Structure 1
């Protein structure tokens, strides 16, 4: 079999949000956050052939494994995105465009310093309010009782949502490998369904489209530009996010590379800026090899590089 993973993995980073409805047989969309080995993702695609199933996975290895699983099964109604769901769901999906969202046995992040990663924080219920259409739902399966209960309590504070009672050891239509192993050890699982009943009162505006490269008229050499930027850091556009330049390299052909690390609301990216000589000065562009997303921190890093090149 030819593993053309691009048939399944969507890496679009411009013209956002992605037009998922165009890919869906019926216009309906389900999402699974953190699909791991992809077996539940495959189950959703098999049992809902009229629905587009989109899996979000932060692990590159799991994203590729899930894509291969979907290709091997021959399902045309499933797609995968690799990255942090907190960013991708907000920027790559239109408001109230998803009917159901599933999370199966996520890490509960028990340490206090990791609390912001839990689904029990208010920002996650706000994200689900943005994403889920009225009448839709969010389903959580977990092996931690307090995690299910806290999630129900946090969502219930949001007037858009209504939580069903937490179920212990429910009969589920599909049991994942992890759940089967857990049950074989005689341990309990909990399941929670959250319903969204109301529409967004104010739908956010889309992000501005902006270029991934710019040109600077300058007498500086490429080496001077990249040397001046190494180890610089700052805030993203509008004070959102943070960026830092790390290593700088100069190729034999005179092209400079700057390693950039950005963080936007916990979504971290590593990518390179290219600094390329041209007759009028330099061209600065985001290297698209890693498919980085156009976040406020990325935009600020690009603007900083442009300003450094133009500064005399």
Structure 2
């Protein structure tokens, strides 16, 4: 039976956008998405899409995937690349996406242009260039695949080299003020003002195995239990923890006419956080005092089915049935 709160997920407004959460299986089969087996190049942080558009236009024999977290950037970039069949855009944290969306040895090259260094201690959780990132790259890059960084911060370039080499990458080049074939808008601006640019190219020489959070069929369980309705009053603000999994109940909304509840959840797997809704309702809505309740993901929400998301259903069922 459908939930009284459930609705349909929003349609995809951008024809070149990929929503991996909609797929039944991860990592993704990019050959099916693009309709060919061309090599994959990934840009992390595509911004306005200028670099990605020019690069993909010059290399129609390659497939390109761009990551961003900004919806505004998605809109700007999509306007530039919408006619390019060899480009797909993804809105999600690339640290998560690189590990979960790409299989071993499936990517030819990964590019980052002028990322924010996030050098303050308080910004540590936002950093992309960390050892775990290069562990992921050592898995998803093909043998001798490359990682390319362009930055205007010298210490950041040197730190990137150091971290990468610790994970088995080989330094191919470290160049100050390179004459790159394709330049970003910011790069052209920095050059105009005489600011130094640093280019780093690293090559994978060691293959590492990584543990994926999802890996396999992208399924979501539901729970059936006898609910103590008085426990709903205790839910809001409740925090549940289990190792790297955290589930926080941020809101509780009761159906005006009926007994169903919509539950706002924030869950975290390590550093990866998601917001979504669960729904709880009597199994038999026609029965006045139905003992059995269903707790499941609301269909208007579509988070990645990570361990914390799956656990949120079970931990709420356990709490409500006490």
Q: Work out whether the TM-score is over 0.5.
A: yes
Select the residue among 252, 268, 289 that pairs with 2:256.
Answer: 252
Q: Does the alignment pair 1:233 with 2:239?
A: yes
Q: Answer whether contact 2:245 2:268 (CA < 8 A) is retained.
A: yes
1:243 and 1:217 map into 2 onto residues whose CA distance is 19
Secondary structure of the corresponding residue to residue 160 of structure 2: helix
Give the structure-1-normalised TM-score: 0.88
- Alignment of 1:289 with 2:297, yes or no, is no
CA 199–210 in structure 1, closer or farther in 2 if over 3 Å, else same: closer
Corresponding position: 1:29 with 2:40: yes
Contact 2:221–2:310 (8 Å) recurs in 1: no
Deviation at 1:64, TM superposition (A): 3.3
| Residues 13-59 of structure 1: per-residue CA shift (max 9 Å, x gap) | 24111111223333311111111111112123212212221111112
CA RMSD of aligned residues (A): 2.3
- How far is the alpha carbon of 1:290 from its aligned partner? 4.7
Instruction: Return the offset for 1:121.
Output: 2.2
User: When you count helix as a share of all residues, which structure comes out higher?
Assistant: 1
- Determine if contact 1:56/1:83 at 8 Å carries over to the other structure: yes
- Unpaired runs of 5+ residues, structure 1, are none
Give 5+ residue unaligned stretches, structure 2: 1-10, 285-289
Q: Deviations over 1:155-198 (max 9, x none)?
A: 11222x10123211101111111111111211111110011124
From 7, 16, 38, give the equivalent of 2:26. Answer: 16
Alpha-carbon contact 1:17-1:92 (below 8 Å) kept: yes
Q: Matched residue pairs, number?
A: 301
Deviation at 1:116, TM superposition (A): 4.5
Q: Which residue of 2 aligns with 1:117?
A: 126
Q: Quick check: 1:95–1:203 contact (8 Å CA) kept in 2?
A: no
Matches within 5 A, 1:1-312: 5-13=13-21, 14-24=24-34, 25-71=36-82, 74-159=83-168, 161-200=169-208, 202=209, 204=211, 207=215, 209=217, 211-221=219-229, 224=230, 226-235=232-241, 239-254=243-258, 255-279=260-284, 281-309=292-320, 311-312=321-322
Deviates more, 1:11-20 or 1:137-146: 11-20
Q: Contact 2:56–2:62 (CA<8 Å) still a contact in 1?
A: yes
What is the DSSP-based 3-state SS (H/G/I as helix, E as strand, rest coil) of the residue aligned with 2:27? Answer: coil
CA distance in 1, matches of 2:149, 2:16: 25
TM-score (normalizing by structure 2): 0.85
